[in-house]
Structures are given as C-alpha cells and as structure tokens.
Amino acid sequence: MRVGRVLITEDQIATRLAELGTRITDDYRGKDLLLVAVLKGAFMVMADLVRAIRLPVDIDFMAVSSYGEATQTSGVVRILKDLDQEIAGRHVLIVEDIIDSGLTLEYLRRNLEVRGPGSLEIATLLLKTGMQRVPIDVKYVGFDIPPDFVIGYGLDLVGKMRNLPYVAVMEE
Ligand code: IMP
Ligand code: MG
C-alpha cells in the first residue's frame, strides 16, 4: 500500500475546525464543558479544535483499541486508558478522528452514559458515509468521506502516517 491522493487539505481542516469551534462555543456558553479525545487518532483534532473554542474548557483522554493490527474493525473494544476524572453532571463532548463502523463510539457512549454526565455529545472530524453498523447520533461532523481507508492528521496505518498534516487515501 502507498499514500494516494490528498482527500482533505491542511487548509480545509483548519477552516472546518474553526467553524465547529465557533458552533461549540455558542452551544456550550456558561456550561462546564469537558472534551474527551479518543487516543491515539484524535490527538491532533483535539489540539486544533480546543484552540478554536473560546470557552474555559477542560480536556481528558481515553485510549481504546478496536482494530488491533488490522485495518478492519473487529467489533471488540478494549479500554487501554480510562478518564482521569469524574464526569457526573458535566457536559461531555467526545472528540473523534473518524467514525467508520461506529462500534467503538457506541461502546464508549454506553460506557460514559452510565457515569451520569449532564450531557454527552460527539464531534468527529471524519464520518465514513454509509459504513455505520449501529445508528450514531453525531452532533458535530467535519467532513463526510467515502468509505476508503484514509491516513494522516492523526490517522494511522499500523502506527505510522499520523504526522501528515492532511488526510490522504491509501492505495494498493
Ligand atoms: P469504528 O469502530 O469502525 O468506527 O472505528 C473507529 C476507529 O478505527 C477510529 O477511531 C480510527 O482509530 C480507526 N479507523 C477507522 N477507519 C480508519 C481509517 O480509514 N484510517 C485509519 N484509522 C481508521
Ligand atoms: Mg480513533
């Protein structure tokens, strides 16, 4: 496999995250907002999105494993690192890099819901069109993309390529 064409440029990502940041700022004004990024993939979205939000937000991270070494979802989700803090009564926004089958997020949402947050919503940079195996209610979507395997801007192929500043398609 090799890196194919650029799907979303650095500029497009910056512009879109600025828009989402403005919306989030309006929606959460006066509320105790906690952004929860899902490691490792979402670390870059988190860093840029949080800077586009003009509120005193708090951040935390979870690490889950859903794919192992493969590029296909297994449906098996394992929590490798849990949140550092309690979320009861707080307004939680999960920050994801990409939603494919949606199985990872469905698991996370159920896991966090039982902790009694004041609200629980999802923001994702990328949403793979038509690939969701479970209905997912996503409040903030950066881009709807075709169901190809993509890398860059946090997204990896077996651990590499995360540092590309744009999103590109992998080709045979
Ligand atoms: P899902 O459970 O199928 O929605 O997959 C969720 C996770 O799989 C994402 O958070 C990514 O870490 C990873 N993933 C899904 N699609 C891709 C892709 O095209 N490239 C790289 N990682 C992906
Ligand atoms: Mg991820």
- Write the DSSP assignment of 98-120 as a string of letters: EESSSHHHHHHHHHHHTT-BSEE
Please tell me the distance between residue 115's alpha carbon and the centre of ligand 1 in angstroms: 25
Domain with 141, as residue range(s), is: 10-147
**Does residue 162 surpass a pLDDT of 70?**
yes
Arithmetic mean of pLDDT over the chain: 93
Q: Is residue 88 part of a domain?
A: yes
Q: Residue 24 sits in a domain of what CATH number?
A: 3.40.50.2020
Range list of H helices, 33-143 = 43-51, 103-113
Q: Is residue 156 part of a domain?
A: no
Number of domains in the chain: 1
Please tell me the distance between residue 74's alpha carbon and the centre of ligand 2 in angstroms: 14
Atom 5 of ligand 1, nearest CA residue? 100
Range list of H helices, 28-146 = 43-51, 103-113
pTM of the entire predicted model = 0.93
Atom 19 of ligand 1, nearest CA residue? 149
Closest CA to 165 of 6, 21, 10: 10
The pLDDT assigned to 65 comes to 79
Atom 21 of ligand 1, nearest CA residue? 155
> Which atom of ligand 1 sits closest to the CA of residue 38?
10
pLDDT, one tens digit per residue, over 86-106 is 999 999 999 999 999 998 899
Q: Is residue 42 part of a domain?
A: yes
Task: Report how far residue 144's alpha carbon sits from residue 98's, in angstroms, rounded to the nearest whole number.
Answer: 10
- For residue 18, the surrounding DSSP H or E stretch is helix 10-27
Q: In this prediction, what percent of the chain has a pLDDT beyond 70?
A: 94
**Does residue 153 surpass a pLDDT of 70?**
yes
